[in-house]
Amino acid sequence: MMSLPHYLSIPKSGSGPGVLVLHSWWGLNAFFKGLCDRFAEAGFLALAPDLYAGKVASTVAGAKKLRAEATASRREPAYRMLMRAIDRLSRHEKVTQPHIALVEFSMGGHWGLWLAQRPEPLVAATVIFYAARNGDFTRSHSRFLFHFAEDDDWVSAAGVKRLKKSLEAAGRDAVYHVYPGTGHWYFEKNRTAEFNREATDLSWERTVAFLRELR
């Protein structure tokens, strides 16, 4: 494990493809650290930047407050921190390939979709859980896998439609899955009211299969 503002998990083999995990607005909590460990168990080297410098929230009000505080007080813009994290991961001595993957959730998904539009980062694959962000993907080098909830108060159908049009216009390879009976945060086990085991297991299987193509 690395000291803040990052959490790093290395597979037992000692090396593997790099995966950058971007947490949702709760912060880099135990769930997302555990997810990095789970990626390591699957053979990936996973790095999670901490956008809140160690603070976490468990309620919507608390998460909104942390997000606002981070935006107002940040000495280094988030995008610079994330670009540094990508560079650090891609250059890590235990990462087997220079190109990496992004796996992001909700707020992290907005950042990840911005990063995936950039030509500079060596991002070969992007996995997004319940997030949509329009943009210009013509310079992107990434493939995309989306996991959407069927009933999501935080992601609009119009936003998803605009996103799909942007990716189609750019000729990017993208796969979309919608999980019946789910809502926002369905993948996050610590969100007991929203967590959906069946959808989570299927999302995980699809994500790992998608990322294994990096090897």
Query: What is the phi/psi pair of residue 83, to 5°?
Result: -65, -40
Number of domains forming the structure of the chain: 1
Instruction: Find the domain containing 126 and state its range.
Output: 6-214
pTM summary value: 0.93
Residue 61 scores a pLDDT above 50 = yes
Residue 96 within any structural domain of the chain: yes
The reported pLDDT for the residue numbered 4 is 43
Look at residues 35, 43, 14, 1 and name the one whose alpha carbon lies nearest to residue 211. 43
Question: Which CATH number fits the domain that encloses residue 163?
Answer: 3.40.50.1820
Burial class (CB in 10 A: 0-12, 13-18, 19+), 57: middle
pLDDT digits (tens, 9 = 90+) for 145-197: 999 999 999 999 999 999 999 999 999 999 999 999 999 999 999 999 999 99
CA atoms within 13 A on the CB side of 198: 7
One-letter amino acid for residue 109 of the chain: G
Residue 31 within any structural domain of the chain: yes
Residue 101 within any structural domain of the chain: yes
The reported pLDDT for the residue numbered 53 is 86
Residue 34 within any structural domain of the chain: yes
Residue 1 within any structural domain of the chain: no
